[in-house]
Chains A and B, each alone.
Chain A
Amino acid sequence: MSMTVNTALEIAEIFAAYSVITLLLPHIVIGKSVHFKNKYERFMLYTMCGNFYVMNLVYLLELLHISHKITLIAGTVIPLAFIKIKLEKIPFGEKLSRRWEWLRKFTGGQLKVKAYREQGKEERSARNKKLFKKAFKLVFSNIPEVLLILGIVASTFYTFGTNLFTDYGYKLSDIVVHNAWINQLGENDIFTRGIYPYGFHNMLYYMHEVFGFDTYVLLRLMNLIMITWTALLLLCFLELLCKSRFIPFLGVYGYVLFDFLESAGYIRFCGPLPQEYSVLFVLPTVYCAFAYFREQRREDNGCAARRSYKYLGGYVISFSMTLSTHFYATIATGIFIVAIAIGFIVWFIRWEYFKKLVISSILAVVIAVLPMGVAYATGTELEGSLKWAINVMTGAPIVAGDEQIVIEADENHEPLFEYNQRILHDVFGVKNSTSQAFVATIRQELDVTLINTNFFWIYALMLSFPLTAILGVFYMLTKTGDKMYGAVLLSNGLNMIFMTMLLCSFDFRLPQLMDQSRTCVFFSLTMCGGIALFVDAVLNLICSRFYKKHLLNIVSFAIVVALLAASLTTGYIRKPIKVQGFESNDAILCLTRIIRDCKDNTWTICAAIDEGRMVYEHGYFYELIDLLRGMEFVGSAGWVRIPTETVFFFVEKYPIDYNPVTYPMSGTSISKEYAAMPLPLGNSRSVYQAQNRWICMSRYYYWAETFMSLYPNEMTVYYESDKFICYRVEQNTYRLFNFAIDYGYNIPDDLRIGGE
């Protein structure tokens, strides 16, 4: 099976498994109990519930050190069955006794399987027919939406999926670390490198254990599912807030297909990372907050249906998941909630609303922090990035990651705002340049980091943020206007203003809560939503004059179709992202084949570094620098043993650029000149970056060739391409080969026996 077919099948399987967790299971358990009619609301709710349950189930089992495939399945099936029975008030005892009676008759020979089948045949047939009719009706009454949703999925597959078929390796440097952490979950060792939000890890670990996906496969492909779900949740969010039926698609297509975003806004979706996974939970939290205000107000106005608590519940689990997955999402969500608090200030200041929202927020934080708190109480240290978060809050020097790199404002780097002020004053002679510099700074930041279009549209966009807020105020103040809709618009407008400030925080010497590159991820999502809401508000304002809902839908559909047609015909669509993998395609191909073809735990891969995490539960890993160092200066007197029957050696003839360092000689092959250079020092990734990688791979290649000449029958070429070669060594596990040899570059001539 080719790697392309294999990848396609794996994507389909992961898609299906994720759908089971986030859609099917919640539907089975709570489908009949939650009385939401709206399909978008259901999708959002199911996604939240599925994620929330899995994340916290894994947390619980991990903290109890009993996490295993069996406990995970039991922990899913038994409580969920219990919940379903309770929610639907299923007469479980009666059903059980009926089953028991059937079993008794069946084993006693009084009942045949055929007869039993006949018994419920009509009932089942009627049920199936009903289900089919319902599905048919759902599809055919919403054909435009169905087609447009398929278009969204196709767009995400096109823009983000293509890269998965061209580059098989991990696209981001952090993924390998997360791979290690997920592997450790398999050992019931959560927070292995310190306390960190493990929501994302828990979900992937669950999929790995329960559905049997290899973690490295999930980490190669899961980003496609993440971006697709993010787009669908954005659609749900907009569909639930917008007045028009089709304008939400404008926002979603803007997010995934139209070529108006700079890559900073979406490029991190080239690989699955916690922060990008946390994006999923931002909009549901916001929507639940909106919906809470709406429902609470209805209840205040005498509506009997008590639904506000359900939305508060949704708010709690969504908000807790932002914190359970990544702090940046919590920051982005927090900013939006501040905007909502202002937008809904009229209601928010009421004690009833205030009290519930604050308690819910605290509860969400408690739920998210509880597992981490338990670990902290039992002596686990904080992971580097968590220390960073605390430092941000306490104002201590900011440190990031485990490498403890201090990120401080560069004193020599002049903020853009001050630079603009200086230029306007010194060059153009503008005396009061503050407002002009302010606008110029925002425009420049948006232009450089986010928006891929001309100045006019950037200014239009900038203008849309306050205009949305103004429109919101307008809706709130007019007698006939929808006040809730107005508050939503106001909140969105304010959020976009706040996000813009966050994006330009360094330029304005504001507290920098997030890196600009990371802010872009949340900014682009909320911006696309915000634009759609703005357009919707304007359209609604115009069309409401004609008092015709249909007109709004027709116009919105026409706009979306026209824009789609225009962008497709003019080529104004985003090119598929292209990010080179950290591992060569050949290495992933070999790894996949080795895992498939070789018996588990009978083989070792000796390679640069990343494969070490990928082989987990299947084989073992030996780092090539350890191999080379084991024979440095000593040759065959060294001691390098790899204790498995089969050992694979991955050699790059054309070393890859191991990010973030780019080598000027990138694209060139290994050589004797590199092999003759001293072996790199150090123990981290730096050994495999830039020239060091060329040296290591050159040495490694000549070692392999020499070893193969010494063991021509034991060492064979397992796979070879122009750029890569994989050797295979079969050895006797009772008497292992000593891989330490003299390969011509590891011993100075004067140290050789018989040498000068």
Chain B
Amino acid sequence: MMLTKRNYFIMAIIMGITLLLFQFSQWIRDNGNDYTINTYSEIKIPANNAFVQNIAEVGDNVKFEEWDYILFLGKTNTNIGSIVKQWTEYSKRDLLLCSSISSFNIERYGNPGFVLVDSQFVDFKKDIKTLKEFTENGVSIVFLNLPGPDVIENDKELAALMGISYVKEKTVKVEGVKLFGGFLLGGETIYKPEKKKQEKRQDLTLEMPWYITQGGTKTYIVGIMDEYYDDYEFKNELFPAVVWRNSIGKAQVFCVNGDFMSDTAGLGILSSMIYELSPYQLYPVVNAQNTLVIAYPLMAEENSEEFERVYSRTPLAFQMDVIWPTLVKFAENDKLKYTCFMAPKLNYSDQAQPGYDKYETFLKLFSERNTEIGLCLEHSRDIDLLEKLAFDKDYYDLIEKRYPSTSAFMDKEDAGYLSEIVNDPYIKNVRTIACDADIEIPILSYITEDITLQSLTSDTKNFTYSRDLMLKSIETALGYDNAKLDLGTVTWPDYDSDHWEIVYNDMSSSLKTYWMPFRIFDHTTLTESDARVRTFLNIDSESKREGDRITLNVKGTNGEKCWFILRTHGEKIDKISGATYSKIEQDAYLIEVTSEEVTIDVKKSNTIG
């Protein structure tokens, strides 16, 4: 069949239009976007007016308001002390330190809001009377850890104070731990592996003294023992209590049987204890969920032979064609926002040099998905940070001209170099740094006058039960998570589990389970969360309740938005002004404060008329 001119002409036009449409959209994208602008650098930095916490030791000439400060029987240079200090700072409470209860004079300081006790610093034989006096005055006590079972068994008054009926066994190994719902945010969780492959997650301390609690107590965390009392009607009630509360008159005595308060899990547990003590709790939170992708992209084609063998691709091609689409899929499903920390090199003994041409492509890809690019200051152990920076100086100079980074990631071991590197030209735009968590490093703090530190709080890989407890705890206390996905190990795998398919599986399952309850919080990049962290550290607030109306006064926001969590006991928000709210879970609401004064009307549910 002959093709007529007319048909030929029409077909040509259609093909031309099609070509134009495809190319035109691409042209629009390229010309309508400036991939080299870091839009996050335009976020206004709230001034550093951090709330100043009153912290003093017994004997110091300070004055606290009665019922408004916290008395800590212990020292801050311990793990527990560090957690107590952090928590009081974040919850904007004054702290009175006391290493020996005998030195505390109640007439001088008045009654504390409540007493936190590190049992190491208490002589129970001698101090039980003072502790009982606290409860008689209506002061609640938190035993952040417990003395040995022998001490409790031989001291009936102490056992009665703690709500312990009797010591069943001095040590017992439980099969798992159950966290009851309504205590930490995130709901009820059983930390007990059901399958063989889950056993690697179990890293909680399972050996503990076995205390049987008495009437008037409420348990929040309990050890699980399948083999005991199978034929007994109330066997669960005999399981070893881990965290519980005993009520004595108006006072409550909380006890933690184990080392849960020695890490960041203690932050949320303390917040939840305060919630349990009060008719309601309204406290500031950060409301930021960061997902940090470390050593991605890696600009040097390191370990390329191994990559070719395992993945049949070059490292850069693998990062672009395999990893990025997967990350995009997660981002779309879980509304994640990534902060990718670009690394020129990881292993400086490898001869591969960082390339620049692919960097532009990554900038485009990241820009399209609202992804922030930060500097990855991670490096192999064979050189130190300063050597690394000297090695990468030229590359950094080049790329920082294209895209000035406002965030960086560094190993916690390199924290000591910070003061030396902050004036480097390619570091000077950095306003916030993320680094691995350490009990001695606060999760959120100012590292210098202008730069904040945001510690990593979770890891999508190797997610263990204690990590989950910490995640829940930090989400409860701060509404914050700084999760790490380290792709450096994919390039230089140490174990089989470092391969991408395993990393991918871990990340997928973690996002679908452990992070799920906290989807209500905003997903942010590190620079976005930096602004929120600064506001969080700045604000001071006061709330009071009259009838069904809660009034919140917030200071130090400088006009920025800030967030609070309201936790009630069976009450729902009826009306709110000066803020908006969304429900996190039953009896927990996220309040977005837009005004200095907020009023919240709550109403009781489950009552007649």
Q: CB distance A738 to B160 under 8 Å?
A: no
The A-contacting residues of B in range 232-286, CB under 8 angstroms, are 233-234, 236-237, 239, 247, 249-250, 276, 279
Q: CB distance A734 to B609 under 8 Å?
A: no
Minimum Cβ distance to chain B for residue A97 (Å): 58
Residue of B nearest to A737 (CB): B218
Q: Which of B216, B279, B569 contacts A710 (CB 8 A)?
A: B216
Q: CB distance A753 to B247 under 8 Å?
A: no
Q: Does B108 contact A (CB under 8 A)?
A: no
Complex: A643 Cα to B217 Cα, angstroms: 16
Q: Which of B156, B215, B604 contacts A635 (CB 8 A)?
A: B215
Complex: A712 Cα to B250 Cα, angstroms: 9
Known: A713-B279, A740-B215. A643 touches B250 (CB 8 A): no
Chain A neighbourhood of B249, CB < 8 A: 709
Q: CB distance B180 to A717 under 8 Å?
A: no
Residue of A nearest to B180 (CB): A732
The B-contacting residues of A in range 28-45, CB under 8 angstroms, are none
Complex: A593 Cα to B218 Cα, angstroms: 28
Known: A636-B214, A753-B157. A738 touches B607 (CB 8 A): no
Question: What's the A-B contact tally at a CB cutoff of 8 Å?
Answer: 88
Q: Does B14 contact A (CB under 8 A)?
A: no
Q: Does B53 contact A (CB under 8 A)?
A: no
The B-contacting residues of A in range 706-756, CB under 8 angstroms, are 709-714, 716-719, 726, 728, 730, 732, 734-742, 753-754
Minimum Cβ distance to chain B for residue A589 (Å): 7
Complex: A728 Cα to B605 Cα, angstroms: 11
Q: Does B570 contact A (CB under 8 A)?
A: yes
Q: Does A640 contact B (CB under 8 A)?
A: yes
Chain A neighbourhood of B216, CB < 8 A: 636, 710, 738, 741-742
Q: CB distance B234 to A736 under 8 Å?
A: yes
The B-contacting residues of A in range 574-599, CB under 8 angstroms, are 589-590, 593, 597
Minimum Cβ distance to chain B for residue A648 (Å): 10
Residue of B nearest to A634 (CB): B215
Q: CB distance A709 to B247 under 8 Å?
A: yes
Chain A neighbourhood of B569, CB < 8 A: 713-714, 716
Q: Does B23 contact A (CB under 8 A)?
A: no
Q: CB distance A738 to B236 under 8 Å?
A: no
Q: CB distance B247 to A717 under 8 Å?
A: no
Chain A neighbourhood of B213, CB < 8 A: 738
Question: Interface digits, B561-603 against A, CB 8 Å rule (1 contact, 0 not)?
Answer: 0000000011000000000000000000000000000000000
Interface size of A as a range: 35 or more
Q: Which of A631, A709, A754 contacts B215 (CB 8 A)?
A: A631
Complex: A726 Cα to B607 Cα, angstroms: 10
Q: Does A90 contact B (CB under 8 A)?
A: no
Q: Which of A593, A635, A712, A736 contacts B279 (CB 8 A)?
A: A712
Q: CB distance B607 to A718 under 8 Å?
A: yes
Minimum Cβ distance to chain A for residue B609 (Å): 7
Q: CB distance A728 to B606 under 8 Å?
A: yes
Q: Does B326 contact A (CB under 8 A)?
A: no
Complex: A711 Cα to B276 Cα, angstroms: 9
Interface of B is mostly: loop
Complex: A738 Cα to B250 Cα, angstroms: 18
Q: CB distance B608 to A716 under 8 Å?
A: no
Chain B neighbourhood of A559, CB < 8 A: none
Q: Does B222 contact A (CB under 8 A)?
A: yes
Chain B neighbourhood of A712, CB < 8 A: 279
Q: CB distance A643 to B234 under 8 Å?
A: yes
Complex: A514 Cα to B607 Cα, angstroms: 49
Chain B neighbourhood of A590, CB < 8 A: 608
Residue of A nearest to B248 (CB): A710
Q: Does A477 contact B (CB under 8 A)?
A: no
Q: Does A65 contact B (CB under 8 A)?
A: no
The B-contacting residues of A in range 616-646, CB under 8 angstroms, are 631, 635-641, 643
Q: CB distance A718 to B234 under 8 Å?
A: no
Complex: A590 Cα to B606 Cα, angstroms: 11
Residue of A nearest to B247 (CB): A710
Q: Does B402 contact A (CB under 8 A)?
A: no
Complex: A589 Cα to B607 Cα, angstroms: 12
Residue of B nearest to A598 (CB): B606
Minimum Cβ distance to chain A for residue B566 (Å): 14
Chain A neighbourhood of B178, CB < 8 A: 734
Complex: A739 Cα to B215 Cα, angstroms: 6
Residue of A nearest to B607 (CB): A718
Q: Does B219 contact A (CB under 8 A)?
A: yes
Q: Does B49 contact A (CB under 8 A)?
A: no
Q: CB distance B165 to A637 under 8 Å?
A: yes
Q: CB distance A738 to B570 under 8 Å?
A: no
Question: Interface digits, B204-239 against A, CB 8 Å rule (1 contact, 0 not)?
Answer: 000000000111111100100000000001101101
Residue of B nearest to A630 (CB): B215
Chain A neighbourhood of B182, CB < 8 A: 732
Q: CB distance A709 to B250 under 8 Å?
A: yes
Complex: A205 Cα to B37 Cα, angstroms: 78
Residue of A nearest to B214 (CB): A636
Q: CB distance A593 to B608 under 8 Å?
A: yes
Q: CB distance A741 to B215 under 8 Å?
A: yes
Chain A neighbourhood of B180, CB < 8 A: 732, 734-735
Complex: A638 Cα to B216 Cα, angstroms: 11
Q: CB distance B276 to A753 under 8 Å?
A: no
Question: Interface digits, B157-188 against A, CB 8 Å rule (1 contact, 0 not)?
Answer: 10010010100000000000010111000000
Q: CB distance B570 to A641 under 8 Å?
A: no
Q: CB distance B604 to A716 under 8 Å?
A: yes
Minimum Cβ distance to chain B for residue A460 (Å): 54
Q: CB distance B218 to A714 under 8 Å?
A: yes
Complex: A637 Cα to B164 Cα, angstroms: 9
Complex: A712 Cα to B156 Cα, angstroms: 26
Complex: A523 Cα to B485 Cα, angstroms: 91
Complex: A641 Cα to B233 Cα, angstroms: 10
Minimum Cβ distance to chain A for residue B456 (Å): 33
Residue of B nearest to A735 (CB): B219
Q: CB distance A738 to B237 under 8 Å?
A: yes
Chain B neighbourhood of A741, CB < 8 A: 215-216
Chain A neighbourhood of B239, CB < 8 A: 735
Residue of B nearest to A641 (CB): B234
Chain B neighbourhood of A717, CB < 8 A: 607
Q: CB distance A716 to B160 under 8 Å?
A: no
Q: CB distance A641 to B237 under 8 Å?
A: yes
Chain A neighbourhood of B607, CB < 8 A: 716-719, 728
Minimum Cβ distance to chain B for residue A724 (Å): 11
Known: A753-B156, A754-B157. A736 touches B237 (CB 8 A): yes
Which of B233, B234, B250 is packed against the most chain A CB atoms within 10 Å? B234
Complex: A734 Cα to B188 Cα, angstroms: 11
Chain A neighbourhood of B279, CB < 8 A: 712-713
Complex: A735 Cα to B243 Cα, angstroms: 12
Residue of A nearest to B213 (CB): A738
Minimum Cβ distance to chain B for residue A642 (Å): 10
Complex: A714 Cα to B247 Cα, angstroms: 12
Complex: A711 Cα to B277 Cα, angstroms: 9
Q: CB distance A718 to B215 under 8 Å?
A: no
Chain A neighbourhood of B217, CB < 8 A: 738
Chain B neighbourhood of A710, CB < 8 A: 216, 247
Known contacts A643-B234, A709-B249, A732-B182, then 16 further A-B pairs from the complex at CB < 8 Å, ordered by chain A residue: A593-B608, A635-B215, A636-B163, A636-B216, A641-B233, A641-B237, A709-B247, A710-B216, A711-B247, A713-B569, A716-B604, A716-B607, A718-B608, A719-B608, A728-B607, A742-B216
A-B contact pairs, 18 of them (CB 8 A): A589-B608, A593-B608, A636-B163, A637-B215, A639-B234, A641-B234, A641-B237, A709-B249, A710-B216, A712-B279, A716-B606, A728-B607, A734-B236, A736-B236, A737-B215, A738-B216, A741-B215, A741-B216
A→B interface (CB under 8 Å): 589-590, 593, 597, 631, 635-641, 643, 709-714, 716-719, 726, 728, 730, 732, 734-742, 753-754
B→A interface (CB under 8 Å): 156-157, 160, 163, 165, 178, 180-182, 213-219, 222, 233-234, 236-237, 239, 247, 249-250, 276, 279, 569-570, 604, 606-609
Q: Which 7 A-B pairs have the closest CB atoms?
A: A710-B247, A636-B215, A713-B569, A738-B215, A740-B215, A719-B608, A636-B214
